[in-house]
Amino acid sequence: MTAASAPVPPGQGQAFTTGAGLRSGLSRREVFGSSFARPHHGIRATAEPATPEELARAYLPRMREWQAFGDVTAGLFWGFPLPGRLRNAMTVHVVVPTGRNAPKGNRLASRRISPEKWERVVHQGAPLSAPALTWALLSRVLSVQELVVVGDAAISTSRNYPSLRRPSEPSITGDEHSGAPPLAALDKLVDINQVWGRTVGASRLRLALGRIRAGVESPMETLTRLALVDAGLPEPEVAYEVFQRGRFLGRVDLAYPEFKVAIEYDGEHHWTKEQAMKDLARINRIQHAGWLVIRVTRKQLTPNPAEFFAQVRAAMRRAR
C-alpha cells in the first residue's frame, strides 16, 4: 500500500504517532515500513515536510501540555522578521519549563526555562511561546540590531506590517491607518527583560530594549532608523503625523520635525500603481507645506549608505 492510498488515523491529519496508526487499523508493516515519511521519532506522515513550519506541525502529535514551540520555530509562526540564515533551517525548537522533560530527536532542539518566564499560547493551531517570550528566546541567536527589528515588529500596531500573523485583527472601518492589536505590548518586553537574569542573550536584550520604538511598519524602516543613528545623525521620530494649520496632511515613516525633513522607505508594496498614486498625493501635500521628503530604497542602504546620509545632512543644513 502506498502512502497516498494508506488510510490516515481519524483526526490525526497529515502526521500521526505510530501508536495511533496501529490503533486506527494500519498494520505494523504499513506503520514501520516505507509507506509513510518519518519526520520525527515515533511520527509518521503522508508526505515529507518541505518547510520548517510543516516540520513543526508534523511534531504536534507528540506535543504535551507543558511543551511549546519556541525560539526560531515560534518566531516563524508569529511571522517575526527573522534573518534569512534562520528562516529555512529544518529544526524544530521546543521549550519547556524547568522540571519537565525536554524532548530529544535528530530534528529537535529543546531547552528549559524557569517557570516565571514561561508563557504558552495556542496560535495558528500550534502551542507557542508567547510573543514577548519568543523575542527573549531569540536573543540566543540574534544580534542586538536583529532583536530591535523583531521587537519593533512585536509591538507594531500597523496593519501594513508584512508577515506578522496576529491572532485577530478587527476589520478596517473608515481609517486605513487605524491600528491593530500588537503581538506584545512594550511593557511585556520590559517584563521579560527584567526576569531574564543571566540567561544567554540577556545583555543583548537590554541593549535592544532601549532602541525599540512603536509605530514601525516594516523591518527596513527599523534598519533605516538604526542606520541613521549609527551614522551619528539624530534619532528621527517614527510614524510622524504632519499637520498644517490643524489639517492632517499625511504620515511619514521617519521625521526630523524641527528641520521639516521626512524620510520615506519605499518597499515593494509602494510600487503598485494604486499605492504609488496614494504616496504621490500624500508626499506632494507634505512638500507643499514646506517639508523636504527623502525617499530611500534597500539599494541605497546597502552596501554603502554614505550618499543617503549625505542627503539627510544636506537637508538639515538647508533647513537651518
In order of their start, the domains of the chain are 70-91+114-209 (no CATH), 219-319 (3.40.960.10)
DSSP string spanning 176-218?
TT-----SS-HHHHHHHHHH-TTSTTHHHHHHHHTT--TT--S
Tell me the C-alpha to C-alpha distance, in Å, between residue 107 and each of 15, 94, 172: 15, 11, 41
Question: pLDDT 10s digit of each residue in the chain, 320 long?
Answer: 444 445 566 545 589 999 999 999 999 999 999 999 999 999 999 999 999 999 999 999 999 999 999 999 999 999 999 999 999 999 999 999 999 999 999 999 999 999 999 999 999 999 999 999 999 999 999 999 999 999 999 999 998 899 999 987 555 444 555 678 999 999 999 999 999 988 889 999 999 999 999 999 999 999 999 999 999 999 999 999 999 999 999 999 999 999 999 999 987 665 667 778 888 999 999 999 999 999 999 999 988 899 999 999 999 999 87
Number of H helices, E strands in the chain: 13, 11
**Separation of alpha carbons 237 and 255, rounded Å:** 5
Grid cell for residue 151: 521587537
pTM, to two decimals: 0.91
E strands of the chain, at which residues?
15-17, 43-45, 68-69, 92-97, 108-113, 120-123, 126-129, 237-244, 247-256, 261-265, 292-296
Residue 259 DSSP label: G
Residues near 72 by Cβ (< 8 Å), separated by ≥ 6?
A: 52, 82, 86, 89, 91, 93, 138, 141
pLDDT score of 173: 47
pLDDT score of 199: 85
pLDDT score of 174: 44
**Separation of alpha carbons 179 and 165, rounded Å:** 15
